[in-house]
Amino acid sequence: MTSIRHAEARPASKKTVLVVDPDPQTGAMLSSILTPLGWAMEVALDNKSVLGLVRIRPYDLIITGEETAAREDIEMLQEIRRVRPHTRLIILTGDSTPEDVIASMRERAFGYFSKPFSLESLAETVRMVTDGPCWDDGIELLSATPTLISLAVRCEVRTADRLLIFLGEIADLPEREKREVGTAFREMLLNAIEHGGHFDPEQYVEITYVRARKMVMCRIKDPGEGFSLDEIQHAAIANPPEDPMQHLAHRDALGLRPGGYGVLMARQLVDELIYGEKGNEVLLVKYLGQAR
């Protein structure tokens, strides 16, 4: 890990992450990921230092300090966008509101974590940047309040995983319900991206999130032609009781990845799973405060 004083000694071709005054544990984790991959890691003392540095040269990734308020980091991101429009920035913050998360999405932040956050989740987000081609956009916020969000998401797995981070920060749910809704939503979103969008980054999945007083609802609509649950022999939900693994043979014959449990899993985690007439639109409904 280098300080900003050594930035000029860095080879021009080397990818660089700029971290704002990291907590020692966070800094060590980032270094353990980035250094083996040949990334250079530099440290800035505060947001003002970051703005001065990005005017001089671009950075492949910027990670904010954990002690700043999210609104300060969002203001910094707005300034950065004027100079370096496609800079990837991950916000770490100790002071956050759902409105801040929405604002960060509008400014196309790459990721968002409020304290206390999981270092494992942060590490996975950093790997999204380091492992290969990835966009800083792909999440189009169409309209948003903390209780009603409409957006479009590129049919790309990394973008879907980034969206889950943002929605997890927004969702004002008890921990168990947040975990169950998040897992069910991820399974159905990946189904939409794979089977409806065919992993085509030119295609988008439409998503609506609604947080009512006693329920949460997620609507997912993919760009595909749809299907009937009676026709999806590659999914576990179509298996007869006497052969609970039958779908695996169908997936192998079709050249599909292992899996096929998404719909079945989602049905166990939410209270209602409702498909539209064409089969390319699904509602997930979770009622809150009910015993299981």
pLDDT tens-digit series, residues 69-86: 999 999 999 999 999 988
Give the model confidence (pLDDT) of 218-231 as tens digits: 999 999 987 655 55
Task: Give the residue with greater pLDDT, 238 vs 195.
Answer: 195
> Does the structure show a pLDDT above 70 at 63?
yes
Note the pLDDT of residue 116. Answer: 87
Phi, then psi, of 109 in degrees rounded to 5: -60, 145
6-42 burial by CB neighbour count: b if 16+ within 10 A, else e?
ebeeeeeeeebbbbbbbeeebbebbbebbeeeebbbb
Q: What 3-state DSSP class applies to 23?
A: coil
Mean pLDDT for all residues in the chain:
84
- Report the distance separating Cα 34 and Cα 38, nearest Å: 7
Greatest mean pLDDT among 8-12, 35-39, 100-104, 251-255 lies in: 100-104
> For 83-95, what is the mean pLDDT?
92
pLDDT at 203: 95
Nearest to 110 by CA among 148, 84, 146: 84
**How confident is the model at residue 29, as a pLDDT?**
87
In this structure, what DSSP letter does residue 186 have?
A: H
What average pLDDT does range 202-206 have in this prediction?
96
pLDDT for 157-175, tens place per residue?
989 999 999 999 998 888 8
Nearest to 171 by CA among 98, 241, 243: 98
On the question of pLDDT at 217 being above 50, the answer is yes
Q: Does the pLDDT at position 56 exceed 90? A: yes
- pLDDT tens track for 254-274: 555 544 566 878 888 999 999
Query: pLDDT band at residue 236, thresholds of 50, 70 and 90?
Result: very low
Instruction: Look at 98-107, 233-242, 274-283 and tell me which has the smallest mean pLDDT.
Output: 233-242
Q: Say which range, 91-100, 104-113, 130-139, has the weakest mean pLDDT.
A: 130-139
The pLDDT assigned to 104 comes to 95
For residue 143, pLDDT over 60 is answered with: yes
Share of the chain above pLDDT 70, in %: 80
8 Å CB contact between 235 and 251: no
Q: Where do the domains of the chain lie, and which CATH numbers do they carry?
A: 1-136 (3.40.50.2300), 138-292 (3.30.565.10)
Contact (Cβ atoms closer than 8 angstroms) between residue 130 and residue 154: no
Determine the pLDDT at residue 118: 87
The residue-averaged pLDDT of 119-148 equals 85
pLDDT at residue number 127: 87
CB 70 within 8 A of CB 97: yes
Q: What is the pLDDT of residue 2?
A: 43
Q: How much of the chain, in percent, has pLDDT values that exceed 90? A: 55
How large is the average pLDDT for residues 171-181?
89
Q: Which of 229, 237, 286 is nearest to 264 (CA)?
A: 237
Q: Which residue has the higher pLDDT, 15 or 10?
A: 15
Instruction: With both helix axes pointing from N to C terminus, report the angle between 175-191 and 262-269 in degrees, rounded to the nearest 10.
Output: 150
**Per-residue pLDDT at 145 exceeds 80:** yes
